[in-house]
Amino acid sequence: MKEAGTVKWFNAAKGYGFIQRESGEDIFVHFSAIEGSGYRSLDEGARVSFLVKRGPKGLQAEQVELA
């Protein structure tokens, strides 16, 4: 089941950032987890929906879509 959150920050040059979950905790997001084709980036403050997955360095967002 997808969660909702807000993009805390995203560095397009580095291809990653963090989403603030509804619970208040931050979760890592990599550009490859953003749904869509072409250039994939997220704007600070954007509302998104996503799945949470355990990656090699902890929890991370997957299947990220603009809400």
CATH code, domain carrying 38: 2.40.50.140
- Residue range(s) defining the domain that contains residue 35: 3-66
* Count of structural domains within the chain: 1
Report the C-alpha gap between 35 and 29 in whole angstroms: 12
> Any idea what the Cα angle at residue 32 is, between residues 6 and 8, rounded to 5°?
20
pTM above 0.85, yes or no: yes
pLDDT tens, residue order, the chain (67 aa)? 899 999 999 999 999 999 999 999 999 999 999 998 888 999 999 999 999 999 888 999 999 999 9
